[in-house]
Structure 1
Amino acid sequence: MAFDIPGTRHSFEAAGNLTASHYKFVKMSGANIAAVASADDKGIGVLQNKPASAGEVGTVMVDGITKVLSSKAIVAGVPVYLAADGRVTDTASATPNFPVGIAVSAASGADKVFSVLLRPLGSLA
């Protein structure tokens, strides 16, 4: 069962429509947030809402435990990495291959909402 234990949340203006990025990692695009487009993007956190157009406010959780979408089945307790579309996977496919968190619940397959303990951004560099 997926759950949240909110940590730090930040508000940013969306660079465009992010309704498909709910519970996915987003990245910075200038001073705005945008959808992660590849596994080697620098995801800053997980989008908590669904801004529908540029300029709308998106809420991004950057630490704590959050719900995230999976790209495949993932067991609890393993490190997770960015997948190409902002979801997460248990296999590093990009360089550098820093984990973005630790699975604290399991995902039974692709596009399942499960819980991830986010790693602080400073630990990624």
Structure 2
Amino acid sequence: MKIIEIIEPLQAQVIAKGDPEQQEVSGGYAGDLLSDVIANAKENSVWVTIQSHPNVVAVAKLVGIPCIVVTNFQDVDEQTSQRAEKEGITILKTPLTTYQAVAVLSRLGLPGLRRNV
């Protein structure tokens, strides 16, 4: 599924534009602990989190995550959005809670994926 297809259902605003028209995601992962995401998230996933500091971009790059969905109206600072655009990572901001965002992505057919399972 292309990232562009999840923007409207998530009621999301594009904060950093990687290449949502072309980038594809094959599943999702939700978590706020960066070490957990590094250890368990799978490449080409949508990462749903309340974290919005610049370290999320480094983690997404390391794991191969093309899209971060920041939930709960959390603000994303300019440094984070600039770093994401430089790395080609899309950041979406949604008013939905993490629970609601995951439910939307699940209804769209994106499975929850873990690296080692």
TM-score, normalised to structure 2's length? 0.29
Q: Higher relative CO (CA 8 A, sep ≥ 6), structure 1 or 2?
A: 2
Task: Give the strand-richer structure, 1 or 2.
Answer: 1
Bigger Rg, which one: 1
Task: Give the helix-richer structure, 1 or 2.
Answer: 2
TM-score, normalised to structure 1's length? 0.28
